[in-house]
Amino acid sequence: MTKTLLLEIPEDVLESVKLPPDEIEKELRQELALALYKRGVLSSGKARVLAQMTRWQFEMLLGQRRIPRHYSVEDLEEDIQYAQSHQ
């Protein structure tokens, strides 16, 4: 199931973004995902989905931005289960 959220950004703000027009949505998604992850509002998995990135791409972006990873026991267990199911 997908829900749609329309985020209205004033035109003058979008025009002020110093990025090529075809990169703005991608960059805004990534910035929102990073900010919410950093605050602990989103897990890394959900943040990477919001950012439309693979896990490894999102991990690299976290490293580039020097954002500490939130890695719980549950995350470790999930990774172990995934690894065991893909042997």
Note the pLDDT tens digit of each residue in 68-87.
988 778 878 878 888 898 87
- The confidence score (pLDDT) of residue 39 equals 95
User: Residue 29 half-sphere exposure, CB side, CA atoms within 13 Å?
Assistant: 16
Stated pTM of the model:
0.76
Whole-angstrom distance, CA of residue 60 vs CA of residue 24: 20
Note the pLDDT tens digit of each residue in 17-62.
999 989 999 999 999 999 999 999 998 889 999 999 999 999 999 9
Q: How far is CA 28 from CA 7, 17, 76, 78, 81, in A?
A: 11, 10, 29, 29, 33
